[in-house]
Homo-oligomer: A and B are copies of this chain.
């Protein structure tokens, strides 16, 4: 008996993200995922109950990966500005080099797959370190007060647009680029 292969799930995730990058959630079909993965359709249904299940599992995974990445090298001891710079650079680097994941998140959120319930609950805890950083910065008077979630909105909106821009043009994500864009961000949010 072949053993159920955990790697296969990663393969399916990768195939799905590739396809989302090519045809969007709109064009995503189980036959396509199977073909892209080099397995028979039936195999997909060994690892996932149905398409919905696959998509939700991928959503969780992508959220997790993003959360795991953007805080690399970050520590609550870092000065506020440094903390933001680390998160900024991580976010930018990750989002630019994993553009399909970005697309997937956007498309997912505005699709019939989104169920208000459990799926969204993933977001909160993952972002806790950022929330604490915001709070600390505001306590120290280093950040503008923000009761309306403006700072995260700006941060993630900005990242998203930059990633899209880089993806659609020959532009590359250089050190200068990250410095310059961080200047924009920091000037926007500092107190």
Residues of A within 8 A of B (CB): 1, 20, 23-27, 42, 103, 106-107, 109-113, 144, 148-154, 156-162, 164-165, 171, 177, 180-181, 183-185, 187-190
Residues of B within 8 Å of A154, CB to CB, are: 154, 157-158, 161, 184, 188
Assess whether B184 is in contact with A150, with CB atoms less than 8 Å apart.
yes
Q: In chain B, what residue has the closest Cβ to A116? A: B168
Residues of B within 8 Å of A162, CB to CB, are: 150, 153, 157
Assess whether A27 is in contact with B161, with CB atoms less than 8 Å apart.
no
CA distance A153 to B185 in the complex (A): 12
Residues of B within 8 Å of A183, CB to CB, are: 144
Q: List 7 A-B contacts (CB under 8 A).
A: A23-B112, A25-B26, A25-B111, A144-B184, A153-B165, A154-B184, A185-B188
Q: In chain B, what residue has the closest Cβ to A149? A: B165
Assess whether A26 is in contact with B157, with CB atoms less than 8 Å apart.
no
CA distance A111 to B26 in the complex (A): 6
Residues of B within 8 Å of A149, CB to CB, are: 165
Assess whether A177 is in contact with B161, with CB atoms less than 8 Å apart.
no
Assess whether A27 is in contact with B156, with CB atoms less than 8 Å apart.
no
Assess whether B177 is in contact with A27, with CB atoms less than 8 Å apart.
no
Residues of B within 8 Å of A185, CB to CB, are: 188
Smallest CB-CB A-B distances: 5 pairs: A157-B157, A188-B188, A157-B161, A153-B161, A24-B111
**Chain B nearest CB: distance from A23 CB in Å?**
5
Assess whether A23 is in contact with B111, with CB atoms less than 8 Å apart.
yes
CA distance A1 to B43 in the complex (A): 12
- Which of A42, A162, A183 has the largest count of B CB atoms less than 10 A from its CB? A162
CA distance A184 to B151 in the complex (A): 9
Question: Assuming A26-B25, A27-B112, A161-B157, is B189 touching A184 (CB within 8 A)?
Answer: yes
**Chain B nearest CB: distance from A30 CB in Å?**
14
